[in-house]
Structure 1
Amino acid sequence: MRLQGKVALVTGAAHRVGKVIALMLAQEGADIVVHYGASADAAQKTAREIEALGRRALLHQADMADWNQAAELGRRALAHFGKVDILINSASSFVPNDYFSTTEADFDKAFDVNVKGPFVLSQVIARAMMDDTGEGVRGNIINIVDEGAFFPWREYVAHGISKAALLALTRAQALNFGPKVRVNAICPGPILKPPDYTEEQWQALRKTNPLRALGTAEQVGEIVLFLLTGPQFINGDCIMLDGGRMWQHQ
């Protein structure tokens, strides 16, 4: 129970990667703030699974594209548990659009959810972490980016640009939140099939990957735990989880 006594806030914890991370943190002893956007039933299921592990769970709905709602999520988490030791920015907008079909609404949604939300939430949480009078690092923030941060996707233009901005935000946070708070990012490659992918498209990624494999959400969780419990000198970094796929784009 490496995280016994810790409190973690996980955005987008109702399903997919966010849920897996939340459950893995709970298995290690952390109490969890389960954020969700519209998936109330799925979020309640996640909370029940956390409580079945003997941990406390706080459910909170918030539109991460809304500045005030994102800030209120942080304030409520702090008021309820008295602290937040770990913040995982996992909630994401993933809407397909090519360059010329992207509308202002598409562009704004990508940046509001993927950049503004984590920015505002981290403002609230990091301030509390930095106010902690204890010695050493008092908090950890981990942002989930993806391959779009490193190379452009024709079908997800606004999304990719926003994830590149989230990676830049990670580095700015690491610079501004030290020495009390460490901030890092994780960049998963093909780990969960996108909703608009066919099974044939998904398996094609396996065949062309240098490892001839696909990743898993649990592996993302393993990297989260490594960043939280491993070497405490890692800061402002981004760990790739893609089987070497990135080098196919060089």
Structure 2
Amino acid sequence: MAPEPVGSIASRENFKEKKVAVVGGDSLLGQAIAEEFRLAGGKVCAIGTEEASCDVIIKDYMDLEDTKDGCKQALEVLGGQIDVLVNAAGGISQGMGYSEMPKIAQQNLISAQMCSELLAPELAKSEIGNIVNVGGALGSKLKMPGALLDYGVAKCGVATLTRNHALQFAPKVRCNVVLFGPFEGDPVLAQLAGHDKSKEKALMETAANGTLLKRLGTPQEIAAAVFYIATQEGATGTEIVLDGGACLTHWVNHPMEGLVGVMPEKLPMGLLENNGNKKRKAGA
């Protein structure tokens, strides 16, 4: 027996046959979001870069014609109608540095902007037309030094984009954002660990300890939040944060590539010193 989606009973009953496009539908998180809407009775079109797991392929979101074609194809898959657009594409690049910044921006920010602006006129025709962006609490709420700086800046941009689109598309189209923290199977953490299983496990354990709940989130929890805000007709320009309270802890550079969170009272002085926070001498 299939599990029921999370959300109010009224929301689930009213969502049957609604049309949903999920950008980034080939990712772990995108697949969970698509499944949440399917379980509610919605028809879903997955948009992404991997042909095997998507209904529509967009290879380059910075290519206007490619993105236009992808959005047109998505509308065709959905029968010429769209009720909800979920922008869940993201990730970090294999390399770091200035040359990788455009790719990171494309994956995390430009994809959401392009697809939203292209599909907003179609969403405005729906009685419940709305956009849900999926951003990272890492960029919007937490400090982002080191390897994740570009990723954090792009994800922070998603939250800003959401607020501006809420203003731009009102009153016909709502626009909200779900900001997530580290979650089980998080590909960003895996990549930061160099896809080394032992390092990945250690990084995930430390990331979990950096939350107030002492655990990682799950793709299903994030998907449930996306579904919830998509069905709340009184919400626009809203942020939902699912990071286990990580934004209330202190984040510092870690010897392992990437970042981890630790509680303030457990912050080692050595890390403080390495982070450029040495106590100044009198008169300095």
The offset of 1:84, in angstroms, is 0.9
Q: How many residues align?
A: 225
Give the greater-gyration-radius structure (CA).
2
1:169 aligns with 2:161: yes
Question: Could you report, residue by residue, the CA deviation over 1:5-42 in whole angstroms, capped at 9, with x for unpaired residues?
Answer: 211000111231000000110010111111120x223x
1:249 aligns with 2:245: no
Percentage of identical aligned residues: 23
The offset of 1:235, in angstroms, is 0.9
Question: Could you report, residue by residue, the CA deviation over 1:115-138 in whole angstroms, capped at 9, with x for unpaired residues?
Answer: 2221111112111122x2x7xx53
> For 2:243 and 2:214, how far apart are their aligned partners in 1?
11
Which residue number in structure 1 is paired with residue 8 of structure 2? none
TM-score computed with the length of structure 2 as normaliser: 0.74
The offset of 1:237, in angstroms, is 1.3
How large is the Cα RMSD of the aligned pairs?
A: 1.9
Question: Could you report, residue by residue, the CA deviation over 1:30-77 in whole angstroms, capped at 9, with x for unpaired residues?
Answer: 11111120x223x06xxxxxxxxxxxxxx1111234322222221222
Instruction: Label 1:239 to 1:179 Cα distance change in 2 as closer, same or farther (>3 A).
Output: same
Q: Which of 51, 63, 66 is residue 63 of structure 2 equivalent to? A: 66
Question: Could you report, residue by residue, the CA deviation over 1:81-123 in whole angstroms, capped at 9, with x for unpaired residues?
Answer: 11111101001131266xxx5123x111112222222111111
SS of the residue corresponding to residue 185 of structure 1 reads: strand
After TM superposition, the structure 1 = structure 2 runs for residues 71-86 of structure 1, keeping only pairs within 5 Å, are 71-80=68-77, 81-86=79-84
> For 2:149 and 2:158, how far apart are their aligned partners in 1?
14
> For 2:176 and 2:226, how far apart are their aligned partners in 1?
9
Q: Which of 163, 176, 195 is residue 190 of structure 2 equivalent to? A: 195
> For 1:18 and 1:118, how far apart are their aligned partners in 2?
13
Q: Which of 140, 148, 154 is residue 139 of structure 2 equivalent to? A: 148
> For 2:237 and 2:206, how far apart are their aligned partners in 1?
33
Gaps of 5+ in 2: 1-11, 194-199, 252-284
The offset of 1:248, in angstroms, is 0.8
Which residue number in structure 2 is paired with residue 222 of structure 1? 224
* Contact 2:104–2:154 (Cα < 8 Å) also in 1: yes
SS of the residue corresponding to residue 145 of structure 1 reads: strand
* Contact 1:149–1:162 (Cα < 8 Å) also in 2: no
Q: Which of 131, 139, 142 is residue 129 of structure 2 equivalent to? A: 139
SS of the residue corresponding to residue 190 of structure 2 reads: coil
> For 1:27 and 1:76, how far apart are their aligned partners in 2?
23
SS of the residue corresponding to residue 179 of structure 2 reads: strand
Which residue number in structure 1 is paired with residue 117 of structure 2? 123
Gaps of 5+ in 1: 45-58
1:129 corresponds to which letter in structure 2?
L
> For 1:112 and 1:12, how far apart are their aligned partners in 2?
12
